[in-house]
Structure formats: structure tokens, C-alpha cells
Amino acid sequence: MRLKRTVTCGQLTGENVNQEVILNGWIAKNRDHGGVIFLDLRDRYGKTQVTFNPDIDADMAARAKRLGMEDVIAIKGTVQARPEGNVNSNMPTGGIEVIVSDLEVLNEAQPLPFLVSDRESGSEDLRLEYRYLELRTEELQRFMALRSKTYQSARSRLNEEGFMEFETPVLMKSTPEGARDYLVPSRIHKGRFYALPQSPQTYKQLLMISGYDKYFQIVKCFRDEDLRADRQPEFTQIDIEMSFVDQDDVLSLATRLTRGMFKDILDYDLPETFPTMEYKDAMETYGSDKPDIRFEMPLVEFAQYAEKTDFGVFKDNLAAGGRVKALVLKNAADKYSRKIVDGLTEWLRTYYGLKGLAFVKLDQSAFSAGISKFFSPELQSEIIGDLKLEHNDMLFFVSDNEAKTLQALGALRLELAKRENLIQPGVVKPLFVLDFPLLDWDEDSKRYIAMHHPFTSPNPEDAALMDTDPGNVRARAYDLVINGYEVAGGSIRIHTREMQSRMFELIGMDEEEAQARFGFLLKAFKFGAPPHGGIAFGFDRLIMILAGTENIRDVIAFPKTTSASSLMDEAPSNVDEQQLRELHIKLVE
RNA sequence: GGGAUCGUAGUUCAGCUUGGUUAGAACGCCGGCCUGUCAAGCCGGAGGUCGCCGGUUCGAUCCCGGUCGGUCCCGCCA
């Protein structure tokens, strides 16, 4: 190219008047007045107005007339202050313009599928097909820059803390515990497969055994499970592991790292220590293991009142071992007409399989509407007193088995908060959820499975329960939750051969199977494994929160759709018969 | 695996409820006019397999069934 930029499109101001500059960039907008022509030239640093005036250079103006949106050009010109009354105070460069004396058209663009100036001008599938164009939009450029800054922040903080950065294999052994693996067939070993890591879990534990007591890695992980707004099949973790530590050491490191990133990126001050909550309390009070504590509205135990009502549904469910819990919506009963409550009920029925949603409204000092007739006046007074209810409050009741009751009411809590705007924008509320159960009963296979993963250490206080009541053993596992998102999770690991065997036994894995799957790790434990533990941050989710978006695709340069395909390059795709032959693979059907 | 929802010019949408002549608007695109705009303006033009397949009907963008694709959720995600 003939004209190489001397400045970017975001940096010229009144200070640069009379300087001769060269700008390179894309045409964001052209405004052709017949005579004078204005182009907004854009690069990732900003936009600058460049002006062609036929009185000054008729030939140049004639050439500019033919230019269109998103053409790539280079211009040489002189910076000038804009005439009085023509300053655009909305742009950092709005006080100046560049009067063009030379133009080089680097590449023309054909008509666009959507406007780069307006991300909403195309549907999401169209934008994903032309992701490279969407990445030119102001919003995505901002998100990608924020992501880049966050990598740097994490790296420098962890470096300051004395952590070593590693890379671990992407082609690894399949360990079919947990998520479904993405498999990679081996050409050399007929019928065998590598797996892409769900996380580098075993490698980082091996590195602890090797003596690298502070490890980190910013690493892609792969899980072949269904997607969500905050879940992609390949995603990035800040993976951390430390030796000679207990839970508090890991939590305080995670706190320092998180605080550092929010400070570096948003200049936002998180508290020096994050609040903690037991898993059990999170479930009971928020109906979720990742509670959003940006607003109150706790789930209230209601069984003791339900017993005293004449409402059959509550009594039947309690008798069957189920639950009754309630939610108090303050001073909004007048906004919840029959129709709106029916809508909420339908929504809970559809998404959470709930049979019904009961409610009462507070009219002065008595229940009205809904199921109020099932409450005696005495019971009403008792409840109003206990729950400090006031006129125009509303009580929602959910009753079902325990899991459904908590989940559905937790979801309703979030939905009501959204409708009532209870969440202040810009607020960030982190907390650690602790004391997760070690094991989870799996109905399908009629056995316990590891809730976190099978290397998670039980809480030593519950050691005795491992024989008598394994379902109630707590793990030394923890999650960092921010604004209702699980942002990080980890645990103190088992580091002795004996405890690891005991764990495998509890999840119904016999010695032979354990050897086949994790023999290499069990062997390593015999050679001096230090006590260790760690945590892994869901990097993409962290960026979502920093960026203030609710869609993980917004913070990944080339994301996949809900069906795990890439609309731009059309992956996954068919492959040649020859490729399959080399891999010893035959397609069925 | 299941549920909900969307699919109409290049694009974003309206029209469909109650089937019927020529499927509209805006932005973009093309042409013309226009010398200070920054959502530039004015005039004109081109542009449609109403996602696809089937059914009902004299007749389907519209009703029904299926299918494909997007999104959201449940299950799943150690």
C-alpha cells in the first residue's frame, strides 16, 4: 500500500490542526452533498470525519463520490478545525476534520447484509454467519477489548502472586465421569480415541505432585452438552491449583484475583472479603446454588402455617414429604391481576413442571383474593405479624416435592425481581457458596455420583458419615457466585491413595475400573502428593459480567449456536470417505 | 430427549385474527438533484419461491401436519 497510516481514527483533536496525516480505515458512513462529501472513517480506535471539497480538489471529490460503506481506504490530508456551528460534540474527534489531498482505495466492499453501525439491524443468525462483520460493530469491539484487558489483568495478578503458567495437553485420555467428552479418533492407534479436556483437572493435580506449587493456565475446555445463554461447548477457564493450602487460602487468592480484575477493568471496588453462604442455605433461602444477592426477597418456610390452613394441596404435599415455601412481594399486589398471575403460573408450569402457583394479597390487614379463604382470621394475623406484611403486599406459594419447590420458587424470585426492577444496574455482588454435598444420589444408576468431581476431598468433620450416611457428607468444595452466575468453582483435593480409593468405592467404582480410568493418577499419588486444591474461573462468564451482557456469545469472538454449530464456517461438516478410512471409522445408517 | 417461541424484499418489520384482484413501510442498494453534514435532505427505480415438504380448500403468506434453522428454558452441564 502506498499510504500507510500515521495516526489512527480515534486520536485527532484540535491539538493536531494543520498537521498533515494519513488515515487508514473503513468507511462507516458517507454523506454526499453533491458538492462537499463527508466520510466517517473508522478503525478500532474511533471515527474521524474526512472531507472532500470540489473547490479544493475536484478530481479527488469525484473519486470519493464512488465510495461506499465499508470500503477500505487510505487518505492523506490536513487536519482542520471544523467551521463554527459544525462541531460534533458527540464524537471525541468531532472538533476536527481531515481535508483530503490524496486517496488510495485499498479494497471495496459489496453491499452489506446488515449495518455495521447498528448491531440490531440484523438478526442474530445473520450476524453469526457474517461474524467478522459483526465484530466490526462498536459493541463487540468494546467487548473484545475488555476481554483482552482481562487476560492481561489475570496474568499479571497471578504472576505477581508467584504462579507459573503452564500448557497441558488438548489431546488427552477420556475419563467418562462427568460431562460428555468430545472425542478425537486416533489414526495411528486403530479404534482408539483421544478426548478434548473438560478441564485440565488431572494434569494440574499431577503438576502439584511434581512440585509446581502454584499453577495457572488460561485454557479452552470442551463439554459436549446442550447449550444455554451462558454456556458454550468450548469455553475458557482461568485454571488455578495450589499446594500446601486449605480452603481459606484458595478463597482468599480467588478474592484477590477477582477484586483485581474488577478494579483493573471497571475500576470497581469489590469488598476485601466476599460473603459466604452454605449450600444448604443458598438452596433454602434463594432456591438456587448460585443465588443472586443483588436484591432481597428470601424464600420463606411456610409449612408451619400451611398445616393450619384448610388448603388440601399444601397438606397433601407435606404429608407426602414435600414442601411449602412462600415469597413476599412488597407493595405490588395491585399490579398482579388475575391475568398476570395466570401468566406466571403458566410459565412455571411450562418451564418447571409446577402444577400450580397459589397466592394471597394483603388488603389493609387481611388476606384477599387467591387462596385467602383457606386461612382463618387468627392464622392471617399470625402470618401478617411474623412476616411483617403490609397493605398491598403479595404472598406467592409454591408446594411440591423439595427439589421442585425450591427451584421453581427460586426462578419466580428472579422473575419478580426482573418485573419489579429490584436489581440496581451496575451493582456487583459476589459471594462464595460453601459446603456443597460430596455426593449426589443418581436415580438412573441407583448409586452416588460425585457432585463436583471424584477428586474432591470430603470435609474432615464429616469423615464418620462416609460409612453411615454418605449423602450428607459435605465436600471441601466451593463456588464463586457473582450476580447469580457461577463464575468459579473448585475444591480441596484428595491427596492420599487411601481416601481416593474410599471415594471411588462410594461412587460404586471398583478397583479395576478405577485403575482403568485413573490408574496413572492413583499411581502418582503413591510418590508424595502434597495437600492441594484449586479453583477454575469461567472466563467467558466473568467477561459477561464485566461487559454487562447476558449472552455468552457476545464475549466470544466466534461462538456457536444453541445447536453447537458455527453458522459462519458451517462446522460441524461432513468429511471425505478417505479421511474416515484413515481413522478406521465407518458411519452407521 | 422434552417444552416454548420466531422464520414475509439485501435487512428490520407490518399484513395472517375472519383464506380471495397488484403482499406494504423503513433502512440499505441503483439513478438523478443538492457545497457543511454527522440518522444529511429531496425525487425516482430495481428488489419477494412469504424457510422447506405435504395436507385441507375452487383458491393457502394466512388453516392443519411434518421438517429444517435461530433463540430461550427443563433435563443434561464431575
- Integer distance in angstroms from CA A223 to C1' B77? 8
Find out whether A331 and A393 touch, Cβ atoms under 8 Å. yes
In tens, the pLDDT along A250-290 reads 999 999 999 999 999 999 999 999 999 999 999 999 999 99
Q: Are residues A445 and A382 in the same domain?
A: no
CA–C1' A146–B37 (A): 33
Whether A135 is covered by a domain: the verdict is no
Distance A7 CA to B9 C1' (A): 41
Query: CA A126, C1' B71: Å apart?
Result: 13
Same domain, A358 and A462: no
Nucleotide lying nearest to A449, CA to C1' measure? B78
The phi-psi region of residue A451 (left if phi > 0; otherwise alpha if psi is between -120 and 50; otherwise beta) is alpha
Number of domains comprising chain A: 3
Which residue from A324, A426, A438 is spatially nearest to A371, judged by alpha carbons?
Answer: A324
Nucleotide with C1' nearest the A38 CA: B37
* Degrees to nearest 5, angle at CA A398 with A293 and A340: 85
A560: Cβ contacts below 8 Å, ≥ 6 apart: A227, A232, A233, A234, A566
Task: Locate A454 and state its grid cell.
Answer: 471424584
Q: Which residue has the cell 470442551?
A: A222
Q: Is A521 inside a domain boundary?
A: yes
pTM across the whole model: 0.94
Q: Are residues A450 and A406 in the same domain?
A: no
Look at residue A289 and tell me if it is in a domain. no
Domain that holds residue A20: 14-107
Tell whether A496 is covered by a domain.
Answer: yes
CA A223, C1' B78: Å apart?
Answer: 11
Cβ neighbours for A575, distance < 8 A, ≥ 6 positions apart: none
Among the candidates A419, A451, A475, a domain finishes at A419
Q: Which of A408, A361, A398 shows the shortest CA–CA distance to A383?
A: A361
Closest nt by CA–C1' to A440: B78
Q: Does some domain include residue A131?
A: no
A292 three-class SS: coil
The 3 state secondary structure assigned to A377-440 is HHHHHHHHHHCCCCCCCEEEEEEECHHHHHHHHHHHHHHHHHHCCCCCCCCCCEEEEECCECEE
Q: Are residues A551 and A460 in the same domain?
A: yes
Cα A587 to chain centroid distance, Å, stands at 36
Closest residue to B42 (CA to C1') is A33
Residue-wise pLDDT tens digits, A549-568: 999 999 999 999 999 999 99
Rounded-to-integer distance, Cα A461 and Cα A475, Å: 10
Q: Which helix (H) or strand (E) holds A310?
A: none
Same domain? For A260 and A151 the reply is yes
Q: What is the DSSP letter of A290?
A: S
pLDDT at A370: 86
Neighbouring CB atoms inside 10 A of A14's CB total: 12
Which nucleotide lies nearest residue A231, CA to C1'?
Answer: B77
pLDDT in tens, A292-307: 999 999 999 999 998 8
Residue nearest to nucleotide B26 (CA to C1'): A121
pLDDT score, position A218: 98
Residue nearest to nucleotide B74 (CA to C1'): A351
Same domain, A326 and A206: no
- For residues A147 and A51, state if they share a domain: no
Domain boundary residue, one of A419, A451, A472: A419
- A461 and A543 in one domain? yes
Q: In whole angstroms, what is the distance from residue A116 CA to residue A132 CA? A: 10
Give the span between the Cα atoms of A78 and A485, in whole angstroms.
51
Which residues of chain A are under the pLDDT cut of 70? 589
pLDDT on residue A589: 65
**Which CATH number is A45's domain given?**
2.40.50.140
Residue A563 lies in a domain: no
Cβ density class A271-309: b for 16+ within 10 Å, e for less: eeebeebebeebbbbbbbbbbbbbbebbbbebeebbebb
A461 and A518 belong to one structural domain? yes
Interface predicted TM-score (ipTM) of this complex, two decimals:
0.92
Q: Are residues A303 and A408 in the same domain?
A: yes
Cell numbers placing A274: 466476599
* Number of residues assigned to chain A: 589
A272 and A159 within one domain: yes
Q: Is A8 part of any domain? A: no
In this prediction, residue A356 carries a pLDDT of 87
Q: Are residues A414 and A445 in the same domain?
A: no
CA A399 to chain centroid, in Å, comes to 31
Q: Looking at A226-272, which runs of residues are DSSP E strands?
A: 234-243
Write the CATH number for A510.
Answer: 3.30.930.10
Q: What is the CATH number of the domain that holds A307?
A: 3.30.1360.30
Residue A327 lies in a domain: yes
